[in-house]
Amino acid sequence: MADSWTGEAIAEVLKRLIAQMGRPAAYLKDAGSELHKAVDLLGASRLHSLSIDDLSHAAASMLKRYDQNHPAFERFVSACGRVSGKLKQTLLACLAPPTVRTKARFMNVHRLFSWAEQLLQLSPAGGAKAGSLLARLRACLDELPTCKDLIKRFRGAAQGLLECQQILKTQGLCHDTLAQCEPLIDAMPTATVRQEFHASLAVQLETAKRLGRDDVGLPISSDAIASLFGVAKRHGVGQTQDAARIALRLPAFCGAPTREEAQEVLAVRVARQHKLTAEFTSLSKQRREVLGHPERLENLSRSQGSAHVELLPSPKKRSNHEAIATISMDCENPWGPQWGCRDDLVLIENTGPPDMREAALTS
């Protein structure tokens, strides 16, 4: 682990590892420039090994080259940010867009386009009753409806890539899996993405042949490696609707569990967990229900179960908050402990500069 890495630093680490364990058959790496440089430096030192490009990063790079400079892309991303601000902290919070980080944006940007497509399906053509949730939703859509052409275009390019990834990540790249991906690649509507992806898989298959893996499957995904370094999975978000679910997990952070407690947890059935959490209101639960069934949009305004957790926000004025009990600030001895008899006064002279004649009294 290090705060930052350079190609030279990675090459030096790999040299030490090679000295202990031997030269690897291949490097499975993402699209980072530091890793590319490290592999080149090792090749110059006669420690060359084959390189395998991670499938997810390769596909993200293709989408980036295809859509990053599209005139409507930045308008779409900006509109998503404004829609998010309008939906959060409202009854429609479950429809807020997923978080997509700025760095390596195209690794997960397809989630944003999928969300936008589903959200626009909640607003069919025709009028909306005043005051209804549909009317409130339309008021939050900002410029998103004007990006329909871009959404359709991107989804068409990304859909085939995602379906091929599902096959290749689990089975590896070989002749059989490539044959399964061929119809999906041919169905991609964008010729540039289709041709580049096909060429990339052809290069990877040549690497598989050189490694003798073209019949059994070449691993071309770094997901399993990344999971070894603790890929964090969020078990709840800081929204009001998920407070009950977060509270369920708080005991797990309270001290080290005993073996008996661990045995009790292992004995809890999944069905029992689902029964317990089914009555909690959850953003994830609402999102799955509404995006999958647009006709249930108006159901968001209905109460869902009783509250098991009460949020106590910090009030600006304590006196206006009924839940805060009045705490008396009085005490029997406001002056603190007495160190001597108060009847005996001691005169301390010369307590100030020479030109001062005042004296101080203390008990």
Q: Considering the chain, what is the average pLDDT of its residues?
A: 77
Inform me whether the pLDDT recorded for 311 exceeds 80.
Answer: no
**Do 175 and 215 meet the contact criterion of CB atoms below 8 Å apart?**
yes
User: Residue 6: helix, strand or coil by DSSP?
Assistant: coil
Q: What pLDDT, on the 0 to 100 scale, is given for residue 233?
A: 38
Six-digit token pair at 340?
């001597």
DSSP 92-159: TGGGSPPP--STTGGGTHHHHHHHHHHHHHTS-SS---TTSHHHHHHHH-TTGGGGHHHHHHHHHHHH
Q: Is the pLDDT higher at 39 or at 244? A: 39
Q: What are the residue boundaries of the structural domains of the chain, listed by start?
A: 54-233, 240-301
Q: What pLDDT, on the 0 to 100 scale, is given for residue 346?
A: 47
Identify residue 260 by its one-letter amino acid code: E
* Closest C-alpha among 6, 3, 39, 41 to residue 24: 39
Q: What pLDDT, on the 0 to 100 scale, is given for residue 175?
A: 93
- Chain segment 104-118, per-residue pLDDT in tens: 667 778 888 888 898
- Chain segment 7-35, per-residue pLDDT in tens: 899 999 999 989 888 888 898 888 778 88
Enumerate residues 6+ apart whose C-beta is below 8 A from 127. Answer: none
Q: Is the pLDDT higher at 263 or at 336? A: 263
Helix axes 191-210, 55-67, angle to 10 degrees: 160
The answer for 45, left when phi > 0, alpha when psi is -120 to 50, beta otherwise, is alpha
Identify residue 111 by its one-letter amino acid code: R
To the question of pTM greater than 0.85 for the whole model, the response is no
Q: What pLDDT, on the 0 to 100 scale, is given for residue 204?
A: 92
Q: What pLDDT, on the 0 to 100 scale, is given for residue 2?
A: 66
In angstroms, rounded to a whole number, what is the distance separating the alpha carbons of residues 233 and 210? 36
In angstroms, rounded to a whole number, what is the distance separating the alpha carbons of residues 234 and 173? 31
Six-digit token pair at 363?
């008990």
**Do 118 and 97 meet the contact criterion of CB atoms below 8 Å apart?**
no
Q: What pLDDT, on the 0 to 100 scale, is given for residue 159?
A: 86
**Do 11 and 41 meet the contact criterion of CB atoms below 8 Å apart?**
yes
**Do 7 and 34 meet the contact criterion of CB atoms below 8 Å apart?**
yes
Q: What pLDDT, on the 0 to 100 scale, is given for residue 345?
A: 47
